[in-house]
Amino acid sequence: MTVTSVLDRIDADLPNALDRLQAFLRIPSISTDPAYADACDAAADWLVAELRALGAEASKRPTPGRPMVVGHLDGDGPEVLFYGHYDVQPVDPLDLWNSPPFEPELQDTPNGRVIRGRGTADDKGQLMTFVEACRNWLEEHERLPAKITFFFEGEEESGSPSLIPFLKDNADELRKELALICDTGLFNDTTPAIITSLRGMLGQEVILRGASRDLHSGSYGGPAANPIKVLSHVLAGLHDDTGGVTLPGFYDGVQVLTDRQRADWDALGFEADSFLGEVGLSMPAGERDFSALEQIWARPTCEINGIRGGYAGDGFKTVLPAEAAAKISFRLVGTQDPIAIREAFQSYVRSMLPPDMEVEFINHGASQASVMEASHPVFEQARLALTEEWQHPATFTGAGGSIPVAGYFKSILGMDSLLAGWGKDDDGLHSPNEKYDVESFHKGTRSWARVLGKLAEG
Amino acid sequence: MTVTSVLDRIDADLPNALDRLQAFLRIPSISTDPAYADACDAAADWLVAELRALGAEASKRPTPGRPMVVGHLDGDGPEVLFYGHYDVQPVDPLDLWNSPPFEPELQDTPNGRVIRGRGTADDKGQLMTFVEACRNWLEEHERLPAKITFFFEGEEESGSPSLIPFLKDNADELRKELALICDTGLFNDTTPAIITSLRGMLGQEVILRGASRDLHSGSYGGPAANPIKVLSHVLAGLHDDTGGVTLPGFYDGVQVLTDRQRADWDALGFEADSFLGEVGLSMPAGERDFSALEQIWARPTCEINGIRGGYAGDGFKTVLPAEAAAKISFRLVGTQDPIAIREAFQSYVRSMLPPDMEVEFINHGASQASVMEASHPVFEQARLALTEEWQHPATFTGAGGSIPVAGYFKSILGMDSLLAGWGKDDDGLHSPNEKYDVESFHKGTRSWARVLGKLAEG
């Protein structure tokens, strides 16, 4: 059972694999907007059909929100679970897209061939690399070198409200030796990464309300409380002059880097200038005493993700608005407790409110950071497999984004996760014109085939 | 030429006058949104036809923006100009309207009969009170006791960009002994007011730009500059702890109240509790050392009228936005210089910007406060006329809103303005469910007829 013939088959089948991916991408499975619930359902059905075509026993599992997809494929070797998510981010501002987000296109760019559209890199293109690796392995060898449970979620981009109860209700079915999660990126264009620490995330929406209706700023400006004004004071007070977050207790559980981590990360040759330069920036804007890489991988943040209030359209309207709102997220590291931070945040906001100002909080996702123990043999097998495929040493790294599911796999199922993915820094996750390099898709599929090859060697 | 028969005629003709007003209100003449340019044109045409029906020599006058309407009606007596505006505010948030904003309805409410719809009170209903007074006078007496020039603007709600050049280009045609302006309110439900000081207004839009595209707050949160965060600091820094505005030189030209003014205003019995209570508020929120009435009539303000940035729709999107923007307005008093304040504001914003943050300013209207000299005999005649109609002493007051045209009449044409109008505090100017009391419309029409009557008496 050598991997070489599987890799050849993957190369030959690439056009068909891209066709399948495009069909998947055409389904506008935006989970955060209820208007796309049917599309999420269709994406789940599409995956069930794909898994059945591989010979898996697969089904769509209802939840109070978007459905889960679970499939089991028998094989010889360790029992592993593979996780990906079929839901995607919203597409606004739509006018910044150069092509329709749900009409995926193959495009030639100065940096190579890409597939363009919402969900290409996050996460449909990524999860399909594993499915395609299994397909080609089975066509060559008929039986997999592992017992694989596929687990696809449809609410990753909207805070995963159904995930915890689903994991609890189906713990025996989903608890395996290890989870493989494909929702992350390469360290850089040539260096594959296996991520062993991920930031957690706390999402919080704040709505401030003053007068019972919008007012004329001439008739009422002065004595009437202005929610946008109050909101700006609330938001401005969240950071101090060094870029640190002011909430009491916020840094409880934040760990300092070990010398070993610092040495490993220094060896990566990360260049803040080019990382920021690619998106038109030049200077790290976060905590003053930390490098850009530390700010992303090892430090918590507080960001404002959205704000609205009053009249913000064309022209000018002298309204004194009744309401203003902001969406705020905290990235968490180490053992920071999202629930304690939520409470500290809400107390802080309440303490900032003048008379005649009411607050409503909407709680979005809350997940701790994940720090993996890389003791299962698959970690080392995967490091070898990725090093062979990319012809560059694969590294254990941190990551700035949140993959809450990795934390829940650990806390609910007692299962560690191996996070490997093929995204690139310029993929435009969550942005207009999201893309996935065809190289990512192709070499990603080959990478998973090589991981299967290592499992077959034992 | 007594006024009594004119008043009787006005009473009898009220249903027809309301029909005419409703036809006018059905035209969605929103000036700030270019999509409604044709509707503004239609509203101007409608007014031209109305004036011609009175026998005036009237025409629509093109500008680079929305057209002006000018009409001349000969008569015996002083030469006066009457000003109103046919454009209206936008209607969003549309879902807060209980009936379509451009399908005006007569409704019975606990406080009496009202006409509901955008522009009823600001300013279509008001300007029609004068037109209807002239119509009924002419039907009764054939010839007016004044030479009247009607001047209707279509850009009052969008900063009047064409007004200054139009006044300069047509100064000889428009310069009269006095202007009458009907775009203000009663002091309270029973007390008519002639306004002799009005706050000026400076409108300013700020757009902050950081990264070249929206970013994922996991991948970039920390080192990437966040425009909403910077904007919140900029806005929070505009006020100090006492509610004062921090811009250098902002209070230059702000005058303290004279003892006479303070005594007159105290005598009005203004109650901050009920004024604020009507809109769900309880405490004056402006400058700490000034009463609510002073805050509105005699003190400048800085308000945030709108803000936008990132994802503010349903659900949550962990975006680190490329752009954030706010619309800010300053209400001005005394001789505060809007141009100097605009410069101070822009310098302040620039001084607050960290690296990697660019700013664009969009300048909206800029008008000084207006302080009238009430020396023309019509001021005293109008005070008598209004006192007779409302059976309550009419008062010379201040006003918090801006009627920039009054300032331009003074600075460009050397013409003072008499500001009288029939709006009420609960009309909902600029808000959803704007209304105008039928009593305001009816007694307003009668009030102007009585003013004409005083002119006829000489």
Name the 3-class secondary structure at B247: coil
Structure tokens, A220 = 């009422």
**Predicted confidence (pLDDT) per residue in A55-86, tens digit:** 999 999 999 999 999 999 999 999 999 999 99
Q: What per-residue confidence (pLDDT) applies to A1?
A: 62
| Cis amide linkage into residue A8, ω under 30° from 0 | no
* First-to-last C-alpha distance (Å) of chain A: 12
Q: How many CB atoms lie under 10 A from the CB of residue B358?
A: 12
A401 contacts B218? CB cut-off 8 A: yes
**Predicted confidence (pLDDT) per residue in B188-223, tens digit:** 888 999 998 889 999 999 999 999 999 988 889 999
Measured in residues, chain A has a length of: 458
Size of interface A-B (CB pairs under 8 A): 364
**Predicted confidence (pLDDT) per residue in B143-165, tens digit:** 999 999 999 999 999 989 999 99
Using a 10 angstrom Cβ sphere, with 0-12 exposed, 13-18 middle and 19 or more buried, the burial of residue B60 is middle
Q: Cβ contacts (< 8 Å) between A327 and chain B: which residues?
A: 310-312, 316-317
State the pTM of this model. Answer: 0.75
Å from A142 to nearest chain B CA? 39
B380 neighbors B158 (Cβ within 8 angstroms)? no
Q: Cβ contacts (< 8 Å) between B432 and chain A: which residues?
A: 213-214
- The stretch A311-340 carries a mean pLDDT of 94
Any idea what DSSP says for residue A376? S
B229 contacts A232? CB cut-off 8 A: no
Please give the Cα distance from A339 to B105 (Å, whole number): 51
A416 neighbors A376 (Cβ within 8 angstroms)? yes
Q: Per-residue pLDDT for B265 more than 90?
A: no
Of the candidates B195, B197, B194, B228, the residue with the CA atom closest to the CA atom of residue B210: B228
B304 contacts A229? CB cut-off 8 A: yes
Nearest CA in chain A to B88: A317
Å from A29 to nearest chain B CA? 14
B222 contacts A286? CB cut-off 8 A: yes
Across the interface, which of A157, A158, A232 has its CB nearest the CB of B304?
A232
Ordered alpha helix ranges (H), B142-258: 163-169, 171-174, 217-220, 227-236
For A200-254+300-367, the fitting CATH number among 1.20.1290.10, 3.30.70.360, 3.40.1190.20, 3.40.50.300 is 3.30.70.360
Across the interface, which of B213, B356, B430 has its CB nearest the CB of A283?
B356
Structure tokens, B81 = 């100009």
Of the candidates A198, A99, A196, A193, the residue with the CA atom closest to the CA atom of residue A440: A193
Phi, psi of B166 (to 5 degrees): -65, -40
Confidence of residue A257 (pLDDT cuts 50, 70, 90): confident
Q: What per-residue confidence (pLDDT) applies to A196?
A: 85
Class of domain A4-199+370-457: alpha beta
A314 contacts B287? CB cut-off 8 A: no
Q: Cβ contacts (< 8 Å) between B428 and chain A: which residues?
A: 213
**Predicted confidence (pLDDT) per residue in B95-142, tens digit:** 999 999 999 999 999 999 999 999 999 999 999 999 999 999 999 999
Q: Per-residue pLDDT for A376 more than 90?
A: no
A210 contacts B314? CB cut-off 8 A: no
* Fold match flag (A4-199+370-457 vs A200-254+300-367): no
Rg (CA), chain A: 23
Structure tokens, B448 = 């102007």
Å from A347 to nearest chain B CA? 19
Measured in residues, chain B has a length of: 458
A221 contacts B317? CB cut-off 8 A: no
Q: Per-residue pLDDT for B44 more than 80?
A: yes
Give the β-pairing of B112-116 and A68-73: unpaired
Confidence of residue A372 (pLDDT cuts 50, 70, 90): confident
A280 contacts B221? CB cut-off 8 A: no
Q: Cβ contacts (< 8 Å) between B306 and chain A: which residues?
A: 228, 309-313, 317, 319, 321
Domains of chain B, residue spans: 4-199+370-457, 200-254+300-367
Interface confidence (ipTM) of the complex: 0.75
Phi, psi of B51 (to 5 degrees): -65, -40
B223 contacts A304? CB cut-off 8 A: no
B318 contacts A329? CB cut-off 8 A: yes
Of the candidates A90, A69, A29, A87, the residue with the CA atom closest to the CA atom of residue A151: A69
Name the 3-class secondary structure at A104: coil
Confidence of residue B7 (pLDDT cuts 50, 70, 90): very high
Q: Per-residue pLDDT for A21 more than 90?
A: yes
Confidence of residue A308 (pLDDT cuts 50, 70, 90): very high
Q: What per-residue confidence (pLDDT) applies to B1?
A: 62
Residue percentage of chain B with pLDDT more than 90: 82
Q: Cβ contacts (< 8 Å) between B318 and chain A: which residues?
A: 201, 203, 303, 305, 329, 402, 430
